[in-house]
Structure formats: structure tokens, C-alpha cells
Amino acid sequence: MRMTFLRLSRAATAGLVAAAALTAAAHPAEAADTLGSAAAGQGRYFGTAVAASHLDEADYVSTLNREFTSATPENEMKWDATEPSRGNFTFGAADQVVNHARSQGMDVRGHTLVWHSQLPSWVGGLGAADLRTAMNNHIDSVMGHYKGRIHSWDVVNEAFQDGGSGARRSSPFQDKLGDGFIEEAFRTARAADPAAKLCYNDYNTDGVNAKSTAVYNMVKDFKSRGVPIDCVGFQGHFNSASPVPSDFQANLQRFADLGVDVQLTELDIEGSGTAQADSYARVVRACLAVDRCTGITVWGVTDKYSWRSSGTPLLFDGDYDEKPAYDAVLSALGGSGGGDDGGGPGDGTASCTATYTRTADWSSGYNGRVTITAGSEPIGSWATTVTFTSPQQVQATWNATATWGGNVMTARPSWNGSLAAGASTSFGFTVAKNGSDAAPAVGACTAS
């Protein structure tokens, strides 16, 4: 049976949860019934990546506010968003996420200051001395803007290579400033907001391997020399090719033993049903078994907006129904769920939607992408039309089989017909404009 907690403001709920946690032993039946409250009962936060663009969707916001006690802006704090040209700082979208989260009493993870990706091209064009100044100024300015409002910052993200070398990844920072850029970034960050916990964050570092050992050695060196570092973030992007490693807990523990907190920062596990649920439960249990594992962030609220949407890697499906993975996480956190265990409305009607985006544009042509998203039931196939304006000509299509009637293309799956409820796939095309810049019109999506 699902308990109803009073839906107070997040701040009030946090207080309630703290009180509930203290009395949990006396009232074991009062197990928490949300991810955030259950995690709070274990002294941890439970967070999600948040996109500012979805904050106008009622179901997104109600799920976010109800379940999560921490928020990480998914893209809004990255360099290309916050300093698109040198010295021109733009915080609008990040402010939206931070203000929303703080108004709900959530903690905020800052993500991320120094990263090779989503880095505007002007940064890569600087010489070493200028780059050093720009890096430190970026850290100062972004951290300064949010000073006192960020729980933990991913100061440096993904600075090590994959594979067996344990080497640093090539980036403007690495290539021009050398190994010392990470230390410099952390020292600058400490001065910019002394209250924020400073994390190094990476992926493929979840198990004991050459890459995680290289990070481990860096953290050990930092701790021995007094370079400020408080936490290590483990992204935790898992799928069948990169499953939850058997030594995940041992790896978290060896970092914790260096005297830093560990955080699971971007967890998502592709799959469905009990297999996905079991993997999630293992990850949660590993965190709970490590005293210094202070919280878990999943990389999105709902499968439909996941960066890996086709892998349905999150805890809520496209209709915001709780998946088996949600129940497994809640139960691993010691909470009680089960009243709304998902599965969708179950009306048996296959349905889908099709949405269009222009993904690239140049003077004589453009690329388009149509995303097909299954409704609340799984689908076996889909079809949609795309009507182009004459004299445009489609030069190539991918991930769909196209048939033509005049300037109307009917697109059907090539390999990607079967979609779980709420899951998405996409197909694309390259168009020669031949003088017309008109956007194509996407017709209704039909599913079977």
C-alpha cells in the first residue's frame, strides 16, 4: 500500500523527513514513499538532472518536486551556455533551474566548469597564457554568480582517456596548460566559493580499471599535497555493453578511503523490467554500503527526455509512471512503494508522436531529424509523412525507409520499429534547398 505523505513544500517536507527518520525505528510502518524522503532517511540526497526547457510541463514539475531532493542542470551551466563568447556571461537558463530547485528546498549540483565538451570554439583558439586567464575567470565568474547556492561543483569533468593507458584526455586545457590545469582549476574554485564541495567527475570509472586508477592516483596526490578536493563523482551510465561492474562498491570504497566523499552523479541504466530494476537496486545498495557515498543523481526525470531515450534508462516512463526500477530503488532505500507501479494506462492502443528539428543548416542545404516517441503502450512499427516544399530535394535519409509520392515522403522503420512505451527513436535526412528555406511539414504518426 502506498502511504500518502502530506505534500508540503520541499523545505517543510525535508523537515518532516528528518523527523520521520529520527523516529523510524519506533514507527517502522512509516516508511518514506518518495525517492527523496527514503534517501533522506538514509542520510543521502536523491537527485536528478533537470532541463530548464521542461519546467513548463506540469507532470515534469510535479514529479520533480515530489521525488527529488537535489537537482543538476543538465546542460545549462556548461561553458557554451554560460560564456558563449569571451567575457559574455549568460545565466538565464541555469538561473531557472537553480531558482526552481532552491524554491523547493532542493540542493543543487553545479555541472560543470572545465570540460572539453560543450566548450565554445573561442576557448580552443586561445594561446596558453590567455587560456589560463580565461579558465580561471570562467570558474570565478560562474561560481561567483551562484556563490552559497551550490552544494557540490563538478569542477573538472572527464579529463582522463578511456582504455588502458590511464592517460589524460587531449583537450585545449590539457594540451596547452599540461597536467597542472586540474589542480589550478580546483584551487581557483576553492577561493571562488569556499562553501561548495569540489568534485572531480568522470565516466567509465565506476569499477576498478586503468582509468579509475589514474583518477584515484590523482586524488591521492591532491590529498597528500593539500590541493582542495572534496568529492569524486561517478557518472554511472550503464548499458549491456557497459554493465554495473562487480567491483563497483569496492571502487567507491577505495576512493572514500582517500578521505573524499563519493557521489553517483549521472546514473542511468538502459533496459527495462526486472533486469533494469535489479541493476538499479545493486547500485543503490553499493552507495548505501559506503559511508561517504553521500547521494545519487539520476540523469533525468523521465525516459522521454533522456539523452539516451531509446534505451529507456530512467525510473519514470514517458507518462511519468513509476517503472519496476523505481520500486527497486525505493525499496533499496528502505522506502515503501507499490501503489502506482506504472505500466501505463494499459488501454492497449498503440500510438506515437512525431516531432521535427533542424539539426544543421548551411547556405545550400540543411539536415532534419524527426523523433518518433511511442505513447503509453509499446509499439511494433510506426509511420509518418514528411512533406517538403518544392524545389527542395532530399539527398539522403537515414534510420528510416522512405517511399515517395510527389514531394511527400512516407517514412517507416528500417531497423527501429519496435519501441517500449514512451521510448523514442529518430530518423534524419539531408535536403538541398534549391533556393527554398521552408521547413518540412511532419504529418501524424501512426503506430501498430
Cβ 54 to ligand XIL, closest distance in Å?
A: 11
For residue 266, indicate whether it is catalytic: yes
Q: Give exposure, 5-20, as e/b (b: 16+ Cβ within 10 Å).
A: beeeebeebbebbeeb
Q: What x-and-dash track marks residues 35-64 binding ligand XIL by CB under 6 A?
A: ------------------------------
- In the bound state with ligand XIL, the residue whose beta carbon lies nearer, of 235 and 249, is 235
Structure-block grid coordinates of residue 117: 565538451
- 75 makes contact with ligand XIL (CB under 6 A): yes
Quick one: which of 37, 38, 39, 74 contacts ligand XIL (CB under 6 A)?
Answer: 74
Cβ 425 to ligand XIL, closest distance in Å?
A: 17
Contact by Cβ (8 Å): 35, 315: yes
Sign, Cα dihedral of 304, 92, 196, 254 = positive
Contact by Cβ (8 Å): 423, 350: no
- 307 makes contact with ligand XIL (CB under 6 A): yes
Q: State which of positions 130-189 bind ligand XIL (CB under 6 A).
A: 157
Structure-block grid coordinates of residue 335: 522506502
Bond preceding residue 133 cis, omega within 30 of 0: no
- 206 makes contact with ligand XIL (CB under 6 A): no
Helices (H), 245-315: 248-256, 273-288
Q: State which of positions 233-272 bind ligand XIL (CB under 6 A).
A: 235, 266
For residue 74, indicate whether it is catalytic: no
- In the bound state with ligand XIL, the residue whose beta carbon lies nearer, of 37 and 371, is 371
How far is Cα 316 from Cα 324, in angstroms, rounded to an integer? Answer: 9
In the bound complex, which residue of the shown chain has the CB atom lying closest to ligand XIL?
307
Residue 418 one-letter amino acid: S
How far is Cα 391 from Cα 94, in angstroms, rounded to an integer? Answer: 41
- In the bound state with ligand XIL, the residue whose beta carbon lies nearer, of 74 and 377, is 74
Residue 212 one-letter amino acid: S
From the candidates 266, 270, 322, 377, which is the catalytic residue?
A: 266
Residues 6 or more apart in contact with residue 58 via CB below 8 angstroms: none
Cβ 298 to ligand XIL, closest distance in Å?
A: 11
- In the bound state with ligand XIL, the residue whose beta carbon lies nearer, of 266 and 321, is 266
Give the binding site for ligand XIL (CB under 6 A).
Answer: 74-75, 157, 235, 266, 307
Residues serving a catalytic function are 158, 266
